[in-house]
Every structure is written in C-alpha cells, then in structure tokens.
Amino acid sequence: MSPLANLPMIRLLVAKDWDLFQRQLAAYVGAGILALALIGSAKPWTFYLGSLLLLVVLVAAACFAISTSLLTERKERTLGFVMSLPVTPLDFYLAKIAGNLVTFGVPFVVLVGGTAGVILSTPVPDGLLVWSLLVFGHVLLAHAVSLSVAMAVESEGWNTFAMIASMVLVNPFIMMLGQIPAIAGPMRGEAIVWSAEAIAILSTQVLLSAAVIGFTGWVHCRKRAFY
Amino acid sequence: MTAAFTLSGVCKRYPAFALEDVDLALPEGEIMGLVGVNGAGKSTLLRLLGGLALPDRGTIEVLGHPMPAQQVQAKREIGLASEDMRLYGSQTLRWHMDLVRAAYPRWDEAYAGELLRRFDLRAAQPLKAFSHGQRVKALLLLNLARRPRLLLLDEPTTGLDPVARAEVLEALSEVLRDAARSVLFSSHDTHDIERLADRITFLHGGRVIDARDTAAFLDDWRRIVCHGALPASVGQWDGVASVRANGSLSELRVRGAEAVVGLLRAAGADVRSVDPMNLEEIFVATVRGGGKH
C-alpha cells in the first residue's frame, strides 16, 4: 500500500504529536520572541544576551521535539500502541518526519523569520543576516542528524550523545565562520553579502540534512521490530 | 471459511530467544488460548500477528491479508492489547478514544460508553492518574470498541485484582459470544483459558509443543492412581508423561488412559482411580514430557 493511500493515518499521527507537544513548543516560541526583542533593542549587552538566549531556545526546541516524539515514545512503551494502529513502518517514518517539521519546524521558521525581521528593521547591522542564517543552518543539520539517530538507534546513550555533540558543535562552527573573511568581513556592515563560501556552506547544510533524513527512512523501513 | 490467521514455518530470532518453525492456524470465529511459561514465545507470536514484528522466515496471513504486505488492511480489523503496551500518561482516556475512533471506521461510540460505565472509568481523567487495573481496562476498551474481527490479547488479566479480573473476563465473554469474532489470547492463568478457549496451544522454548481443541485436551489426559509394584519401564510406555511413587501407591499422568490402564492391569497393578486433569496439570505434564504425544 502506498503511503499516499494512507495519508489520513499519517495526518492523524502528526496531529497526535502536535496535540502532545504544542504547549511546550508555544513556550519555546515565547522565549524565542523574548530573545529577539533583546537582540532588537541593539544595546551591546542585550544583543549578546538575546543571541545566547536565541541559540539556547533553538537547541532546546530541537532536542525537545526529538526526545518527546521519539525517545519518550520508545521509553514509555507507547510505540507499540502507535504501531498497532493501521500504519506501516514507512507511514510511521513519514509521520515522524512531518511531525518534526511541524513541532520543530514551526518554532524554527518563526525564529528564523523573526531574526531576519529584527536584523533588517532595527539598528543591528544587516550584514549579520547571512551569518545568522548559517548558524540556523547548523541547528537544522544538527536536528536532522539527531532525528535520524533517534529513529535508527534505540540506545538512549547514543541518542543523548548525538544530540549533545551535534548541537555543541555550533560553537566551533561559529568560530569557523569568524575565520572566513568572506563571511566575517561583511557582518558589521549594512550590505547583505552572499559570498560563494556562504552559499556553499548553506547549500551543504540543507542538502546534507535532506540526505541524512532520506537515508534514515531507508534504514527504518528495513527494521524487523516496532514496539 | 477464512482463517482468522495462518502461520506457516514462521521463525523469529532475537539474541537470547528464538521462535522456531511455528505452523498454526485459527478458523474464523474461534477462540485460541496460548499457554506457556515466561519466555516461551507467547508475546513474540502475538506481536508477529499484530504486525509489530516481522518474521525472519515463514509466512503469516491475518484475516486473508498477507503480512506485512497488507498490514494496514489487516490492522484495521485487529485489536491488539499487550501487557507491556502503554498509553500516553499526559492525555485523557477521551483523547485516546478520539484518536482510535479516527483510525477505525467501525468504532462503536455507544459500546465505548457502555464499557466506560462497566469498567468504572472516567474518560476525562489523564492516564497517569489510572491504576494498573484501570490502564488495562482502558486499553481493552480502546480495542473492543473498534469492533475488531480478530482480537489479540497478551496476558489481559495479569496483575488485576479479583474484581477487575472478573469485569475484564465478563467483557471478554461477551465478545466471545459473537460468533464472527476470533480471539487469540495468552495467559498464565490456565483457568481463564480453560473457561474461555475453544482451542489451546502450548508453547515452550519457542516451539509449539501441542495444539488442539480444548475438549480433546481435557478428554485425553488422565491421572491414574494405582497400587503395587510397577514395571521399571513404565515411564517409557507410550502416553505416560510422568510417574510419581509414594510408598506402595503410584500416580501416573497419561495421555490415552485406556491403553495404559490395560497395560497396568496386565502387569498386575491394582488401578484405584482414573481422574480427569485440569489444564495446568496437562500443561506441566506436557512440558515435562518434552511435548511427546
């Protein structure tokens, strides 16, 4: 049976995850908006505090979406109940990907849009936009990797490691961006410069995220037990 | 007639356990009880039928649907409740009922309401506030109200207090009265199985060691008490599962008592009584006898 034929069940599973986690995700969006307000006030201390808070909120939202929708489901043994419903492993996989697009994607898109809005409409230099989007790109890739590990590997230890390691790598990533003149140079100016380096990094992040998710689907559909 | 399920040459291996070469079928409308010790393979068998696990070898068909190819169609007509299956603690029973209702077109809201009253459950209460017995009953409600053609139940009464157990068994008996419904259930409690099942399957060490209808099981096995010395080879006689001596009295547990009684009398033993055995005794005798017929 093709997943398209079972679309109502996939939609039902996505709605279930949204129902389960919407309150907490609303709290993350609220905290993100507070962070953006701090960044937008454009004083040095509020800018740094806001940036830090925004990064914490993004990482927390990514980890929360994965741990609640996948790891907790397995740990609290609700996975058997879900898989006993009229779904195939592929339906379940698609529902989890779509569910994460909603549960993580909604706060992510709100915060990306909010950040762009704050940068472009306040005294914060517009040149910061490219750098910010690359940092968001890293969080997206880290989320895709953590989501894939959570779907493919049952070990809680490996899942925790994957989440922490991929998210903590944002620090060296930010430092690396600072070492690339074509990205670090225009950060303090008003011009938005999409250098070849910036485009290459962002494209790699997006393509790699899609590839990791696709590979996980292939692995998941070859599993022999779902409970 | 469609079989409720058919397993042919099914194997499923885990690092510490294997279900081996299972051939088993249940005609539609019948009730099969699975009897086995912990780790015998009962839960694995039920998970394979419910589509929660895939076999390493062999074929499975559920209500005419090959698994896993047509698992969605099959799962639409299956109810599966297992002892280790949990519901979402943060959500209410009503939330779960709405979720299951959306997934099963045959959901019977009136019957769900009736089960709520009978099981004394509050739909507005979050599952984390439920006791173990209430959680079991909630899971059963979610399965029964979808009106499944095949009900798979793994230890449905384990850990329940006597009142909850009676309520669950009563609800089950009602389902079982519907001739179109098939049920496969496992239980440690052989009394439940003896009371409800049309057919019984003994599982041991991942293998089916015996499978027949309940009446045949109970008719076939007898406990024979006799007086006097018995031949040393009595334990090897065909049909003798166990021999226990207590002074001059000996107790034999046998399958096909008539022939054994004849042999005992021919050997000079004084047969004092031949009594029926209950299912638990039959199971123990079968396991100890290595499943020999």
What confidence tens digit (pLDDT) does each residue in B219-236 have? Answer: 889 999 999 888 888 888
Asked whether the beta carbons of B197 and B33 are under 8 A apart, the reply is yes
- CB distance from A12 to chain B under 8 Å? yes
Contact list in A for residue B139 (CB cut-off 8 A) is 81
Nearest-Cα distance to chain A for B91, in Å, is: 8
Cβ <8 Å between A227 and B104: no
Predicted local confidence at residue B77, as pLDDT? 94
Distance (Å) from the alpha carbon of A83 to chain B's nearest alpha carbon: 6
Do the Cβ atoms of B277 and B222 come closer than 8 Å? yes
Residues B34, B185 contacting (CB under 8 angstroms): yes
% residues pLDDT > 90 (chain B): 55
How far is B29 from chain A, CA to nearest CA, in Å? Answer: 21
pLDDT of residue B91: 93
CA-to-CA separations, B20 to B26, B54, B67, B201, B202, in angstroms, rounded: 18, 14, 18, 15, 14
- The per-residue b/e assignment along A120-156, b for 16 or more CB within 10 angstroms, e otherwise, is eeeebbbbbbbbbbbbbbbbbbbbbbbbbbbbbeeee
**Is residue A3 over pLDDT 60?**
no
pLDDT at B175: 76
Q: What average pLDDT does the segment B188-199 reach? A: 86
The pLDDT score that the predictor gives to residue B184 is: 94
- For residue B1, what pLDDT is reported? 64
pTM (2 d.p.): 0.82
Instruction: With cut-offs at 50, 70 and 90, classify the pLDDT of residue B293.
Output: very low
Domain ranges of chain A: 3-220
What is the C-alpha to C-alpha distance for residues B94 and A218, in angstroms, rounded to an integer?
Answer: 35
Q: Is residue B87 predicted with pLDDT exceeding 50?
A: yes
Digit-coded pLDDT (tens) for B25-45: 999 989 999 999 888 899 999
Instruction: Give me the pLDDT at residue A1, please.
Output: 58
Q: What is the mean pLDDT of residues B128-145?
A: 92
User: Are residues A84 and B72, on separate chains, in Cβ contact within 8 Å?
Assistant: no
The tokens for A158 are 């490996």
**Mean pLDDT rounded to a whole number for chain A:** 88
pLDDT at B280: 87
Percentage of residues in chain A with pLDDT exceeding 70?
96
**Averaged pLDDT for residues A101-127:** 86
Contact A80 B84 (CB under 8 A): yes
Helices A128-152 and A156-168: angle between axes, nearest 10 degrees: 170
Q: How high is the ipTM of this complex?
A: 0.82
Q: How confident is the model at residue B125 (pLDDT cuts 50, 70, 90)?
A: very high
Highest mean pLDDT among A28-32, A61-65, A71-75, A177-181: A177-181
Mean pLDDT of chain B: 89
Tell me the two tokens of residue B19.
């279900």
- A 44-83 residues inside an 8 A Cβ radius of B: 76-78, 80-81, 83
pLDDT score at B208: 93
Contacts with A8 (C-beta within 8 Å, 6 or more apart), sequence order:
none
Q: What percent of chain A has pLDDT over 90?
A: 37
Cis peptide before A8 (omega within 30 of 0): no
As a whole number, mean pLDDT of residues B125-134 equals: 92
In this prediction, residue A206 carries a pLDDT of 94
Instruction: Quick: pLDDT tens for B194-227.
Output: 888 889 999 999 999 989 999 888 888 999 999 9
The neighbour count for residue B189, using CB atoms within 10 Å, is 18
Q: Is A85 close to B103, i.e. CB distance below 8 A?
A: yes
Residues of A in contact with B56 (CB under 8 A): 224
- Subunit contact A78:B68, Cβ cutoff 8 A: no
In this complex, the residue of A9, A19, A83 whose CB is nearest that of residue B52 is: A83
Q: What is the mean pLDDT of residues B72-76?
A: 94
Residue of B nearest to A227 (CA): B52
Q: Give the confidence band of B290 by pLDDT, cuts at 50, 70, 90.
A: low
Higher per-residue pLDDT: A10 or B1: A10
Confidence category of residue A4, pLDDT binned at 50, 70, 90: low
Task: Report all structural domains of chain B as residue ranges with CATH numbers, in order of start.
Answer: 3-205 (3.40.50.300), 220-288 (3.30.70)
Is the Cβ of A205 closer than 8 Å to some Cβ of chain B? no
Q: Which residue of A has its CA nearest to B80?
A: A84
